Amino acid sequence: MGGRGAIHSYEIVVHAIQPGFKDWAPYPVVLVELDEQRGQPTEHEALRIVANLVTPDFRPEAEASVAIGRRVRVVFQDLAEDFALPQFVLTDEPPEGRVWRFPG
C-alpha cells in the first residue's frame, strides 16, 4: 500500500476517552479511503482506515483544515521501541471533487 488517499469522513473528538489524547482535545479523527483499494471489491466499497489527522510534527491538525475530499498520506509515529502508530497528514495534492466540511 502506498498510504495515500482521501478523507471519506471525519469527526472532531471533543472529550478524549484515551488518557494519552486528553491534552489533544479537540482533535480530528478521519476515515481515509486508500487509493489502491478504491472501488474494490465493488463500486461502493473500499479499504478505509480510521486514524488521527496530525501535522508533520505529530500535533493535532486544526479543525478548520479538515474536510471530506482532502488528500492525505500515512505517517508513522514512534511511540515505543517496537510500536508505531499510523496517523495521516494533509498533502498539497488537489482535493477529490468539491470538499465538504461540517457546518459550524
Q: What is the pTM of this model?
A: 0.88
The string of pLDDT tens digits covering residues 91-102 is: 999 997 888 887
Q: Is 19 helix (H, G, I), strand (E, B) or coil?
A: helix
The string of pLDDT tens digits covering residues 79-92 is: 889 999 999 999 99
User: What CATH number does domain 4-90 carry, 2.40.50, 3.30.2020, 1.10.1140, 2.60.120?
Assistant: 2.40.50
Confidence check: pLDDT of 46 > 90:
no
The string of pLDDT tens digits covering residues 48-72 is: 999 999 999 999 999 999 999 999 9
What proportion of the chain, given as a percentage, has pLDDT over 70? 98
Domain ranges of the chain: 4-90
Give the neighbor-by-neighbor strand order of the sheet with 71-80. 48-52, 27-34, 4-13, 71-80, 83-90
